[in-house]
Amino acid sequence: MKRTVTFGEIMLRLKTPEHMRILQTDAFEASYGGAEANVAVSLAVLKDPVSFVTKLPENPVGTAALNEVRRYGADTSKVVIGGSRLGIYFFEKGTDIRPTNVVYDREGSALALAKPEEFHWDEILKDTDIFYFSGVTPAVSENIAKAVLEALKYCKAHGIETVCDLNYRSKMWDTKKAQSVMSELMNYVTLCIANDEDFESSLGIHAYDGDISKGIDQIESYKAGMKEIQNRYPNCKAVASVLRNMYTAEDGDWMAIYLKDGVFYESPVHKVHSFEAVGAGDAFAGALLHSLVRGFEPQKLIDFSISASVLKLMIQRDFNLVTENEIMRVMESKAANLQVILRVASMSRQKKIQLENGTILFLGAAAFILLAASLFPSSAMSQKVRSYLEMNRMVERAFAVMLLVLSTQLMKRKRTAWEMTMAVLTLSLRRGLEEIIHTGLEARSLFLLVQAAVFFILLWSRKDFCCPASK
């Protein structure tokens, strides 16, 4: 079985009780965690061979941190001992509109003061198949950034796969420094994980506009950013990303995408109310590495990884203490609920075009009837339509939902000059359609006006759907 080595810093975590603020608390709950330590524990719990490498002080706090990783089965035999202190981070749990907050006290830690020559990579990486680090590790200090670079060069020379979670932290370095360091390290990375602001802050690639409430809605720009990573760094054979629509500190929608061999694989969307929003990214990385170790095919890999990530949101502290069977249950239940959607998503391009054509014909005909009813209110047809809709509110709502979904699909198509006009028009109608769905169509005139407008938009986009060969 493949063996993984993770390299980074583990810290003492001091958390305020419940939702108290740091300024008001008189006590802290102590535990241990850090990106690469979290990933190592995930792999150990999933019964994969893994070693965690860091530098820890020779004192009771350093020993306690070491024991915390070792107790779950991760190998710590290559940990360097020395220095005077363990880094600390203070954790303040957010709620509703107040976000989670972290305060670092890691300057002068054992790892931060370590020198590159303390890590003997020929010994550490002997019989290793995968080397993992996150963007947090080179941000610890310039010497540790050099140590990471040396490890990556050794990996490339010896055919070891390298996985990096960009994991940008603005409290550790600015974008200029991050891009300078990470752009060099990325030349040696074979699989990259990039989420949200990581694209631009770490690599200068625009993919995310900063609105965390609409992350999933930006999936096309994420995909473009993932392709750009591979264009800039040809050694990077695959890219993964977690997308979120976060509505409060606890509530949000989560999904993930994976780019491999020019093909995108998308997970289902998980609607989550989190218990503690920390470590989900590390849980995703750990599950992704487990998938690589076990040889999961790409779709299973991304479904498994996001399922592990959302499970971590239900677990306190940094480590994701879940088994493969527990992750599989979440993955399979979500897949079963969305099997029809996934089946449509897996259709060939031609079948998708045929489905869209049929949908447009149906909606166009229905919209034409409603348009006629609104233009000729005294006609027999209009009276019958109105009478039918009065008795069948669900038909009205279903029709509005279908049009809303279709307008979303239209906006996701390639942005040619022809489609830009269509996209602007459909965007202006989304708010009205959403209100129709939630208010029960009390405003009859608005409903008919919206349907008429959508009908003309469908006609406007008809050429694009009917001429797929021209794309």
Token pair in block for residue 120: 């003997």
pLDDT reported for residue 469: 40
HSE-CB at 296 with a 13 A cutoff on CA atoms is 19
Residue 270 has pLDDT above 80, yes or no: yes
Question: What is the rounded average pLDDT of the residues 220-229?
Answer: 97
Higher pLDDT, 464 or 4: 4
pLDDT reported for residue 83: 94
Residue 296 has pLDDT above 70, yes or no: yes
Residue 287 has pLDDT above 60, yes or no: yes
Higher pLDDT, 353 or 3: 3
pLDDT reported for residue 18: 86
Long-range contacts of 218-222 (CB under 8 A, 24+ apart): 218/243, 219/243, 219/257, 219/266, 219/412, 220/412, 222/257
Residue 439 has pLDDT above 80, yes or no: no
Residue 389 has pLDDT above 70, yes or no: no
pLDDT reported for residue 102: 94
Q: Which of 260-264, 327-331, 363-367 has the lowest mean pLDDT?
A: 363-367
pLDDT reported for residue 332: 87
What digits encode the pLDDT tens for the residues 7-40?
Answer: 999 999 999 998 899 999 999 999 999 999 999 9
pLDDT reported for residue 421: 46
pLDDT reported for residue 77: 97
- Asked whether the beta carbons of 62 and 110 are under 8 A apart, the reply is yes
pLDDT reported for residue 357: 56
pLDDT reported for residue 398: 55
Position 105 confidence tier, pLDDT thresholds 50, 70, 90: very high
Residue 380 has pLDDT above 50, yes or no: yes
Token pair in block for residue 187: 């030349």
Question: What is the rounded average pLDDT of the residues 124-129?
Answer: 97
